[in-house]
Amino acid sequence: MRALQVFQLGDPVDVLQVASVPSPEPGPSQVRIRVAAAALNFADDLVCRGRYQVKPALPFTPGMEVAGTVVAAGPAARAREGQRVMALAALPHGGFAEEALAEDVTTYPIPDSLSDVEAAALLVTYQTAHVALHRRGALREGEWLLVHAGAGGVGSAAIQLGKAAGARVIATAGGPAKTKRCTELGADVVVDHRREDFAPVVARETGGRGADLIFDPVGGDTFERSRKCIAFEGRLLVIGFASGKIPEAPANHVLLKNYSIVGVHFSRYASFNAGVLDAATADLIRMHAEGLVRPSIDGLLELEEIPQALSRLAGGGTTGKLVAQIGSTE
Ligand SMILES: NC(=O)c1ccc[n+]([C@@H]2O[C@H](COP(=O)([O-])OP(=O)(O)OC[C@H]3O[C@@H](n4cnc5c(N)ncnc54)[C@H](OP(=O)(O)O)[C@@H]3O)[C@@H](O)[C@H]2O)c1
């Protein structure tokens, strides 16, 4: 079968190559999936460079989320051959290939209402946003939610889920195309961070209160400025560091302003409490059926186009989700 493989670590454009490799054998609790669609994530770029927390042995195939058909299942897996599923792919046999492996615990049946492309885009970013806003952030109806990089992968999911929960959403994004996208996604207030500082806008829009919940996938200065406009008893969700800068917060500031800094690592739930991801996924499928969430798909790709697309994504040059169509179950 054909797979994109990393033979040495580096820029995806330089190190990802299409190779012909044997079909991977599922372990006892794994399934092998014939991939119909695989969505791209910021972390795919990091893993190719060896800068992600998961560091598979070389050579490996990246790609974290797929939709497709189960073609083989280990004896302890619940999923059955022929079943249409979406799954978090298990590296080193990731989703940028005609076949991928996944742990059964992060493999979910797909309802007919969900296309392959949408299903592939409904896991990493939406599970992250769901776990962040609800389990970790305890978002309440009517609260002010500030979402950074709102036109991006996790950000676009957070805007939709925030609105679905009855929050008032302020989004930040860089440039007119991205701010327009945030408005289309349902944000009530949108700030182009290239043109103005979001902190005074948040203070003004919330009547001086500040944001109750802040969703930050950017880090660096964005995190710094977020601490200036967080509400009393606010929660600042640490989602990621797309800026490349890991920020620090002085504990006295956290104490004086009475706020919380809350870490979010959605995939750790697969090891510690998989029921949380099961419940989030069931809720996402329900919300999709009710029209409350729609993955923002901004590009369909061939397998060979993935390296260039990952480079654009990691450079901040994309909106929403990019999805590679590799086969089809439909
Ligand atoms: N904690 C978790 O469990 C979890 C799960 C999934 C993803 N993440 C993390 O969330 C972050 C976003 O992931 P994503 O897939 O949704 O990506 P993305 O939002 O589609 O892309 C990143 C966005 O960050 C903004 N950005 C600000 N400074 C940047 C810089 N120096 N370089 C590139 N982008 C910059 C850009 O938006 P603007 O131009 O609008 O500023 C860019 O579009 C990543 O750090 C990822 O690792 C964490």
Q: Which residues line ligand 1 (CB under 6 A)?
A: 41-43, 124-125, 128, 149, 151-155, 173-174, 178, 217-218, 239-244, 264-266, 313, 315-316, 318
In this structure, what token pair is assigned to residue 21?
Answer: 């490799």
Q: For position 327, what pLDDT does the model report?
A: 82
pLDDT tens track for 116-133: 999 999 999 999 999 999
Domains of the chain, first to last? 2-122+295-325 (3.90.180.10), 126-267 (3.40.50.720)
Q: Whose CA is nearest to atom 42 of ligand 1?
A: 316
pLDDT of residue 46: 97
Which residues have CB under 8 Å from 33's CB, separation 6+? Answer: 66, 68, 69, 70, 71, 85, 87, 89, 99, 100, 101, 102, 107
CA 317 to ligand 1 center in whole angstroms:
11
Residue 145 has a pLDDT of 99
- Using the mean position of ligand 1's atoms as its centre, give its distance from the Cα of residue 40 in Å: 12
Cα(150) to centroid(ligand 1), Å: 9
Kindly state the average pLDDT of the residues 203-229: 98
Average pLDDT over residues 288-304: 95
| Atom 5, ligand 1: residue with shortest CA distance | 128
pLDDT score at 149: 98
Q: Is the dihedral of CA 263, 268, 271, 275 positive or negative?
A: positive
Q: What is the pLDDT of residues 95-119, one digit of tens each?
A: 999 999 999 999 999 999 899 999 9
- The pLDDT of residue 290 is 96
Q: Give the model's confidence band at 330: pLDDT under 50 very low, under 70 low, under 90 confident, else very high.
A: low
